[in-house]
Each structure stands twice: as structure tokens, then as C-alpha cells.
A and B are shown apart, each in its own frame.
Chain A
Amino acid sequence: MIIHHPILGPRDAQEFVYLGDASLMDRPDGMTAGIEEFHEYLYQRGNPAGEHRELWYHEQGDRSWLVVTRNTVTHEITKVELARDVARAKGRSK
């Protein structure tokens, strides 16, 4: 698979480490969330057959985290964003 890195261009997926569903970015607030909410965040997955937003880490490159939109049935990649941009669009890290 080729991942089109927003900064570095087309890169082989072998340069990356896969983490999982992009919802792992949305960790609940540890001071307010209950045990059920953390259980849902840490252990439960949507695991869709089809379009999947997921986190890839460019370990053998610029060490950036990417949010890759990929089809889990065809492995086709349709969108690649910097995880930083995705988080900031949600109002994080201001």
C-alpha cells in the first residue's frame, strides 16, 4: 500500500506503524469520565467493513501521526490527513 503523506508525498506503508481506529485520538477526560466511558474508548471498536479512519505513525520518516481513510475491503486509501490538523479542527491543542 502507498500512503500519500501530506508533507512527504507517496510513501510505502512499510515505513509506518499502524495503531488502529482514529477514535483513539478522542480520549475521554480522565477527571470526569466514568469507567464505562473509558471501557468504550479503550476496548470497543466499530470495526467497519468499508471506509475506516485509522492512525498510522510514520516511524521511519518524519515521525508524524496521520489519519488515513482506507477501505478495509479493498485496501484503497482515499484520504490522508495530519493527525495534528484533525485534532486542531476539533478544537484541541489551542
Chain B
Amino acid sequence: MRYSGFRVIAEALTGHKGWKPVWRDPEPQSEYDYIIVGGGGHGLATAYYLAKEFGQARIAVLEKGYLGGGNVGRNTTIIRSNYLLDGNEPFYEFSLKLWEGLEQDFNYNAMVSQRGIMNLIHTDAQRDAFTRRGNAMIMHGAGARLLNRDEVRAMYPWLNFDDARFPIKGALAQPRGGTVRHDAVAWGYARGADMRGVDLIQNCEVTGMRIENGRIKGVETNRGFIGAKKVGVAVAGSSSKVMAHAGMRLPIESHVLQAFVSEGLKPLIDGVITFGAGHFYVSQSDKGGLVFGGDIDGYNSYAQRGNLPVIEDVAEGGMALMPAIGRVRLLRTWGGIMDMSMDGSPIIDRTHVEGLYFNGGWCYGGFKATPASGWCFAHLMAKDAPHPTATAYRFDRFLKGRMIDEKGQGAQPNLH
């Protein structure tokens, strides 16, 4: 089923009776060429690009719960490519370019909205650092603009420009950044993969891996053994649990990150604002709710819920930046589990088991990476060689001293 404006009008006139489920609910076959573990954004994108761009067949996605029920449905929907380091920036720019063509590519409305993102500047030193990062972005074709105080004020006159601790002196903006309808990303990839013959198998939890002579033979699941020539794991949040089936320990800790939505307001913020110094960032959804977040809770957790002190901390950050929201009520808060890696950057790599591949360690930045993550993981699995933009995301970078540490925090995952 393809979508078109004509189809929407025709359905509207006939009571919307013609819409059908957009993907099948198949029984698992006994064997596949490729199994992707994890039916979230990254797993579905991997299956989609494996089938579409790399011409592979007999692919299954195994999902423990339902499609898109994890972090792809729990994030704050921001896309951007405003990184500094060589290992990161080309990859995230590749991702942003894929976002720009995504809806036409998979014929699904993901509401990609390049409304712009800005990182606020409070000191001269920060302006220097952001200028350098902006130059790195420009050199990689990502585009960047340094805004002065008046330019920021023209866009958001109600920000607290004269805060005693963090007065706003300007901002680094990426006009191509923005937001995307996060659930639609999972649905669009799922639909596109299903149309190309990928089996999307839900309620199918991987409980073990069958490895013989150092080679993957398939996975044990709660629906029986499923054989596979190659298995790719994309289960960020639960990476340590799943990879333990292959006897691996990972450079990853699982942490909980909370996000928040306020009651609906009239249009107030048309882009994304990040207030790094106050550990707060915010955008406004098309429904009018302020979507915002802050730091991770800071301790290992597999509970998809956080604690109140961080909610207080984020609310304080919001009030410091936008005193006008003082009477706005919070509508919802929720938590998701992040793979926090030891340098704050992800891993897309082979493992010591032949035919077993890993994609994870996305920290709290996985959503914006979804298209490139899927593409690069599919590239790695199909060709057994890393995609040119993802060559640095290796397991052994910690052993070899080639960390990609944007914040320079060292091996302290709760600080990235």
C-alpha cells in the first residue's frame, strides 16, 4: 500500500474503511540469512537498508515486545549533526542527509521538520569552543551559524538573557537540525522492510545464542531456535544482557534518562534550544506541548523510570532559562534506558564470534543517528567491512587509545 494525497482524500470520503495493517505478523521460519535482534529504530532501519540498499534477502527482525516500544518511542525527537570530532561528525552528517530524504525514500510521513537547533553561549571561552565546533561542522558540510545576543533575542525575546550565573551571550545554530515524529520513523522503516519481504517477529525474546567453533549458528528464543548465517544485535539499553549470551562484557553501563512534556501551549518555540550549562533543552511539539529533558539520573538502572531529584533539577534549569514557564504544568514524564559507553560515542562493529555483529552504546543520542546507524550496520553485515563514516566506532578503540570523547570526561559513563 502506497500513500498519496489522492488516497487520503478518497479514504476520507469513504469512511477510512480501506486502510489495512501496514505490515504482516509472520511466524518465524526455521532459518534466515540475517537476523536483527531488536525491533526499535536502529534494528528496523538496519533491516530496511539491508533489503533495499544491499539487496539481501531472508531477513528477520526479532523483537521482545512490540515494534518501536523502546527508546525510539521514548526520546525527545531531535535531529542534528553538530559534533566536533572526526570520528563523529561525518557519521552524524550522513545521518542528517538521510533524514532529509527519508520520507520520499520510504513513502511515509515522518514529519521531518528542519526547524533549527541552537546551543546557547554564556562565556567567551564557550564562544571560542563553539566557534571551533561550528567550523568543524562547516568543513564537513553540515552548516553552522554563530548568532550574537541580538540575533538570539530576535528569535526568542522571552529567554532570561541577564541571568546572573549564565547570561546569554549568543548561540551556535544549525539551521538544518530539527525534530521528527519519532514513532513514525519506526513505523515507516517497519513498513518499508515488510514490503521488501523482511519478517518482523514481535513478542520474540532472544534467550541464548548458538555458537559453534567460534561461528554463530542462530539464536534461541522463547519461540524456539531460529538459525541464521549472520546475527546483528541492536538493542541499546539492554546490550549487556543480550551480548552476555555470547560471553561478552561490554564497555557500557545502562542508565536511565528522563524526558518531559508540558500541557499544550500556544506556539512559543519554533526550533530547539539547548541550555547545556543548565542541563536543560527544549522544543515544542506540533500539539503545543513543551518537550524537554536534562541529565541522566546518574546511576546504573534498568528501570524505565527515574527519580524525583532529577525532575527537580531539570525544572530548575527550565525556570532559569525561561521564567515564563513558571505556571506551566507538567503533563507527563517518562524514562528510557541508555547504553552509556565509556567515551560517550557508539559502537558499530564485528565481535569475536564470526557472523555476530553489534550496534549499541548510543548514550542519549541514538535517535538522530537512526538512519545512518541502520545504513552503516547493514553495510557492515552485508559487506563485512565498516561504512566509511563509521570506521571509528570500534570495540578496540578503548584498548588502542582511540577514544571519541566529545566531552572529554574519560571512562565515567554517567558524566557523558
- 0/1 string, A62-94, CB within 8 A of B gives 1: 000000001011110000000000000000000
Q: Nearest Cβ distance between residue A90 and chain B, in whole angstroms?
A: 21
Q: Once the chains bind, are B301 and A72 in contact (CB under 8 Å)? A: yes
B216 sits at the interface (CB 8 A): no
Q: How far is the CA of A18 from the CA of B301 in the complex (A)?
A: 12
User: Known interface pairs A20-B414, A46-B240, A52-B300. Does A72 touch B254 (Cβ–Cβ under 8 Å)?
Assistant: yes
Q: Once the chains bind, are A45 and B253 in contact (CB under 8 Å)? A: yes
Residues of A within 8 A of B249 (CB): 40, 44-47
Q: Nearest Cβ distance between residue B393 and chain A, in whole angstroms?
A: 15
Q: Nearest Cβ distance between residue B70 and chain A, in whole angstroms?
A: 14
B390 sits at the interface (CB 8 A): no
Of the listed residues B238, B299, B302, B412, the one surrounded by the most CB atoms of chain A closer than 10 A to its CB is B299
Q: Nearest Cβ distance between residue B385 and chain A, in whole angstroms?
A: 25
B298 sits at the interface (CB 8 A): yes
Q: How far is the CA of A52 from the CA of B253 in the complex (A)?
A: 12
Q: How far is the CA of A14 from the CA of B307 in the complex (A)?
A: 10
- 0/1 string, B268-299, CB within 8 A of A gives 1: 00000000000000000000000000000011
Which residues of A1-44 have CB atoms within 8 Å of chain B's CB atoms? 1, 13-14, 18-21, 35-36, 39-40, 42-44
B411 sits at the interface (CB 8 A): yes
Residues of A within 8 A of B413 (CB): 20
Q: Nearest Cβ distance between residue A74 and chain B, in whole angstroms?
A: 7
Q: Once the chains bind, are A18 and B303 in contact (CB under 8 Å)? A: no
Q: Nearest Cβ distance between residue B229 and chain A, in whole angstroms?
A: 28
Q: What secondary structure prevails in chain A residues at the interface with B?
A: mixed
User: Known interface pairs A72-B302, A75-B303. Does A43 touch B241 (Cβ–Cβ under 8 Å)?
Assistant: no
User: Known interface pairs A20-B413, A20-B414, A35-B399. Does A45 touch B250 (Cβ–Cβ under 8 Å)?
Assistant: yes
Q: Once the chains bind, are A43 and B414 in contact (CB under 8 Å)? A: no
Give the interface size class of chain A: 20 to 34
Residues of A within 8 A of B69 (CB): none
User: Known interface pairs A43-B398, A44-B251, A45-B253. Does A20 touch B300 (Cβ–Cβ under 8 Å)?
Assistant: yes
Q: Once the chains bind, are B398 and A47 in contact (CB under 8 Å)? A: no
Q: What secondary structure prevails in chain B residues at the interface with A?
A: mixed
Among residues of B, the one whose C-beta sits closest to the C-beta of A40 is B249
Q: How far is the CA of A43 from the CA of B412 in the complex (A)?
A: 9
Residues of A within 8 A of B309 (CB): 13-14
Q: How far is the CA of A39 from the CA of B302 in the complex (A)?
A: 25
Residues of B within 8 A of A70 (CB): 299
Q: How far is the CA of A75 from the CA of B196 in the complex (A)?
A: 43
Q: Once the chains bind, are A47 and B250 in contact (CB under 8 Å)? A: yes
Residues of B within 8 A of A52 (CB): 300
Q: Once the chains bind, are A45 and B240 in contact (CB under 8 Å)? A: yes
Residues of B within 8 A of A48 (CB): 240
Q: How far is the CA of A13 from the CA of B382 in the complex (A)?
A: 47
Q: How far is the CA of A19 from the CA of B299 in the complex (A)?
A: 8
Q: Once the chains bind, are A72 and B300 in contact (CB under 8 Å)? A: yes
Q: How far is the CA of A42 from the CA of B198 in the complex (A)?
A: 40
Q: Nearest Cβ distance between residue A61 and chain B, in whole angstroms?
A: 16
Q: How far is the CA of A14 from the CA of B240 in the complex (A)?
A: 27
Q: Once the chains bind, are A47 and B411 in contact (CB under 8 Å)? A: no
B321 sits at the interface (CB 8 A): no
- 0/1 string, B218-252, CB within 8 A of A gives 1: 00000000000000000000101100000001111
User: Known interface pairs A45-B250, A72-B300. Does A18 touch B414 (Cβ–Cβ under 8 Å)?
Assistant: yes
Among residues of B, the one whose C-beta sits closest to the C-beta of A36 is B399
Residues of A within 8 A of B251 (CB): 43-45
B44 sits at the interface (CB 8 A): no
Q: Once the chains bind, are B254 and A49 in contact (CB under 8 Å)? A: yes
A13-B309, A47-B240 given; 14 more Cβ-contact pairs under 8 Å:
A14-B309, A18-B298, A18-B299, A18-B414, A36-B399, A43-B251, A45-B251, A45-B253, A47-B252, A49-B241, A54-B300, A70-B299, A73-B303, A74-B303
Q: Which 6 A-B pairs have the closest CB atoms?
A: A47-B240, A43-B398, A49-B302, A43-B251, A44-B249, A18-B299
A contact residues vs B (CB 8 Å cutoff): 1, 13-14, 18-21, 35-36, 39-40, 42-49, 52, 54, 70, 72-75
* 28 A-B contacts (beta carbon < 8 Å): A1-B307, A13-B299, A13-B307, A13-B309, A18-B299, A19-B412, A20-B253, A20-B300, A20-B413, A20-B414, A40-B249, A44-B251, A45-B249, A45-B250, A46-B240, A46-B249, A47-B249, A47-B252, A47-B253, A49-B240, A54-B300, A70-B299, A72-B254, A72-B302, A73-B302, A73-B303, A75-B301, A75-B307
